[in-house]
């Protein structure tokens, strides 16, 4: 009887770093009939994985790997991207840029993005989150043993975008800035009004760009793009690339403060196998910090008049602001619109059409009636038409239970649902080495390692 005809037995178990046990191999052998010969058991296992896995199966058989050499653990998504590259687990995939701008741009400037978009006011830098803007020039520090596919630098992939939604948001931000500029006093711009912009990422960036003459933007984007990202952060980054020259040349000087958020940061997530959880929780200053900076009024900007409740992760913050005697109100960005009665100029300009509060030049100053933080400037404004809904002027933040409530995170634990903003990775138990991302079978980890399926 040849050795291949002898009954199959495991002679030894090796515990070597970097060897990845494949469950399907041992399952295939374990499920073979007990009286099966070594040759038939091996053929059964190979048949279970198909021809594509033959080489990997032979390698595992030769080394005698045990089934418990690796396990799946959850790690913070951003940490994994910083270490292994922005496209961790999907290195052979990329992202697409709907609305790609055709204007020429300086690709080399992308490496300066985190500096160009940093607040000029040093006191505000403590609240600036540069994570997203650092991603274009970041390079991996480690190559995963089980996922050696090269990562294309994000700076080579990134393209600026400009969309109609961004254009509307830009003009809305410019309209808000015009109200503050008109209320300028001999001592300068008012700084007692703090704005929090909570639109989809590209529109939030565009709104901040339009408002930059009167407001200093403080960006809070705490994630990186990913080919399978739940949050389409690459579009936010692409919008920032489009407006980077504008932010870079913004005139220094004391302006009001505008915190810029991506409303998609809490996007629904359901599938580890096909999605990369790059979500995060917004970080805003404490109520005392805003008060000490002279803030007395908070304007929370949402996309439309149908959005009447703040994002879940902001409820604690806005309620705390109100408790500190800050007047917190909500405003829909779509309350700004062009005046259909205004004559179009003979020559096309980038500033046309201007947007106004209430959608009419005559109602623009009514902002100061809905938000009584200062007297309207002459001429006396006209109330917007009945068709312009403005529920935000009556908004008051009220404490409610959310997955991000402080009460839901006892003992100082991070706020948010369990495993929020984390991804499953394959870890070698003997060494603790991270071998790769446990994404679906089409991911680069699975091609490199021979078919890990979780």
- Model confidence at 16, in pLDDT bands (50, 70, 90)? very low
Given this model, what pLDDT does residue 96 score? 92
Residue 28: pLDDT above 80? no
Pair type for strands 422-428 and 70-76: antiparallel
Q: How confident is the model at residue 154 (pLDDT cuts 50, 70, 90)?
A: very high
Please list, residue by residue across 396-410, b when 16 or more beta carbons sit within 10 angstroms of its beta carbon and e when fewer do: ebeeeebebbeeeee
Which of 237-246, 287-296, 329-338, 345-354 is predicted with the least confidence, judged by mean pLDDT? 345-354
Sorted by sequence, the CB contacts under 8 Å of residue 344 that are 6+ apart come out as 352, 353
Q: Between 273 and 394, whose confidence is greater?
A: 394
Is residue 377 over pLDDT 80? Answer: no
Mean pLDDT of 110-132: 95
Q: pLDDT at residue 447 above 50?
A: no
What is the rounded distance in angstroms from the CA atom of residue 254 to the CA atom of residue 344?
A: 34
Per-residue pLDDT at 251: 66
Question: Please, which residues bridge with residue 194 across strands?
Answer: 257, 298
Label the pairing between strands 434-437 and 355-357. unpaired
Q: What's the whole-number mean pLDDT along residues 373-384? A: 86
Instruction: Tell me how far CA of residue 38 lies from CA of 12, 223, 451, in angstroms.
Output: 16, 51, 23
pLDDT at 264 over 80: yes
Exposure string for 126-150, b = 16+ CB within 10 A, e = fewer: ebbbbbbbebbebebeeebbbbebe
pTM, two decimals, is: 0.81
The mean pLDDT value for 26-54 works out to 42
pLDDT at 3: 44
Give the single-character DSSP code of 161: B
Is residue 86 pLDDT above 90, yes or no?
yes
Q: pLDDT band at 438, cuts 50/70/90? A: confident
* Helices 201-210 and 233-248: angle between axes, nearest 10 degrees: 10
Percent of the chain clearing pLDDT 90 (strictly above) = 63
Q: Is the dihedral of CA 133, 138, 141, 145 positive or negative?
A: positive
Whole-Å CA distances, 298 to 3, 317, 400, 450: 79, 11, 19, 54
Which has more confidence, 176 or 55? 176
Provide, for the chain, the percentages of residues in helix, strand and coil under a 3-state DSSP scheme, each rounded to the nearest 5: 35, 15, 50
**343 has pLDDT over 90:** no
Between 100 and 241, the higher pLDDT residue: 241
Name which of 119, 121, 117, 157 is nearest 134 in CA terms: 117
Q: Once rounded to an integer, what is the mean pLDDT over residues 311-337?
A: 97
Residue 98: pLDDT band with limits 50, 70, 90: confident
pLDDT of residue 244: 96
Residue 74 is classified by DSSP as E
pLDDT tens, position by position, 182-212 = 988 877 788 999 999 999 999 999 999 999 9
pLDDT > 60? residue 74: yes
> Cis ω on the peptide bond leading into residue 148 (within 30° of 0)?
no
Supply φ then ψ for residue 196, to 5 degrees: -120, 115
Would you say 41 and 5 are in contact if contact means Cβ atoms under 8 Å apart?
Answer: no
Spatial distance between the Cα atoms of 28 and 38, rounded to a whole number of angstroms:
12
For residues 64 and 429, the model is more confident at 429
- What are the sequence ranges of the domains in the chain? 1-68, 97-140+163-412
Section 225-249 average pLDDT: 96
- Give one DSSP letter per residue of 272-297, joined into a string: TTT-B----------HHHHHHTT--E
Between the alpha carbon of residue 17 and those of residues 51, 253, 429, the distances in Å are 27, 57, 9
Is the pLDDT reported for residue 271 higher than 90? Answer: no
Inter-residue contact 105 to 160 (CB < 8 Å) = yes
The region of weakest confidence among 14-18, 266-270, 438-442 is 14-18
Q: 60: helix, coil or strand?
A: helix
pLDDT classification of 375: cutoffs 50, 70, 90? confident
Is pLDDT above 50 for 50?
A: no
| φ, ψ at 115 (rounded to 5°) | -85, -45
> What pLDDT is attached to residue 407?
58
Indicate the average pLDDT of the chain: 83
- Share above pLDDT 70 across residues of the chain, in percent, rounded to a whole number: 79
Is residue 206 classed as helix, strand or coil in its secondary structure? helix
* Measured distance between the N- and C-terminal CA atoms of the chain, rounded to whole angstroms: 38
Element (H, E) at 318: helix 315-323
Class of residue 169 by CB neighbours under 10 A (exposed 0-12, middle 13-18, buried 19+)? buried
Give yes or no for residue 53 having a pLDDT over 60. no
| Of the candidate ranges 52-56, 73-77, 93-97, 150-154, the one whose mean pLDDT is the lowest | 52-56
């Amino acid at each position: 009887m040849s050795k291949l005809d002898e009954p199959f037995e495991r002679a030894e178990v090796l515990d070597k770093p970097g060897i990845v046990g494949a469950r399907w191999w041992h399952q295939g052998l374990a499920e073979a009939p007990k009286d099966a010969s070594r040759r038939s058991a091996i053929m059964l296992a190979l048949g279970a994985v198909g021809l594509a896995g033959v080489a990997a199966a032979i390698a595992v058989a030769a080394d005698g790997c045990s089934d418990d050499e690796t396990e799946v653990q959850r790690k913070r998504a951003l940490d994994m991207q910083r270490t292994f590259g922005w496209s961790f687990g999907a290195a052979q995939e990329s992202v697409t840029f709907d609305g790609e701008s055709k204007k020429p741009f300086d690709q080399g400037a992308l490496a300066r993005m985190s500096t160009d978009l940093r607040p000029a006011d040093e006191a505000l830098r403590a609240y600036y989150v540069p994570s997203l803007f650092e991603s274009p020039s970041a390079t991996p520090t480690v190559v995963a043993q089980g996922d050696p596919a090269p990562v294309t630098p994000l700076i080579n992939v990134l393209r600026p975008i400009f969309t109609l939604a961004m254009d509307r948001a830009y003009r809305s931000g410019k309209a808000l800035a015009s109200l503050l500029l008109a209320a300028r006093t001999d001592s300068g711009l008012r700084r007692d009004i703090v704005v929090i912009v909570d639109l989809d990422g590209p529109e939030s960036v565009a709104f901040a760009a339009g408002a930059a003459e009167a407001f200093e933007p403080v960006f809070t984007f705490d994630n990186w793009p990913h080919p399978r990202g739940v949050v389409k952060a690459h579009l936010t980054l692409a919008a920032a690339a489009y407006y980077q020259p504008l932010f870079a040349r913004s005139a220094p000087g004391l302006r009001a403060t505008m915190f810029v958020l991506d409303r998609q940061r809490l996007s629904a997530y359901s599938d580890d196998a096909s999605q990369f959880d790059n979500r995060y929780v917004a970080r805003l200053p404490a109520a005392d910090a805003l008060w000490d900076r002279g803030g007395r009024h908070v304007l929370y900007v949402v996309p439309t008049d149908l959005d009447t409740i703040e994002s879940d992760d902001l409820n604690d913050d806005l309620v705390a602001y109100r408790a500190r005697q800050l007047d917190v109100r909500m405003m829909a960005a779509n309350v700004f619109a062009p005046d259909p009665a205004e004559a179009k100029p003979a020559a096309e300009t980038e500033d046309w059409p201007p947007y106004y509060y209430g959608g009419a030049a005559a109602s623009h100053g009514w902002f100061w009636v809905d938000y009584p933080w200062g007297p309207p400037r002459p001429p006396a404004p006209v109330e917007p038409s009945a068709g312009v809904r403005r529920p935000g002027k009556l908004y008051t933040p009220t404490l409610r239970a959310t997955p991000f409530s402080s009460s839901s995170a006892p003992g100082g634990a991070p706020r948010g649902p369990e495993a929020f903003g984390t991804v499953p990775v394959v870890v070698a138990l003997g060494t603790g080495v991270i071998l790769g991302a446990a994404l679906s079978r089409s991911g680069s980890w699975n091609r490199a390692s021979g078919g890990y399926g979780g």
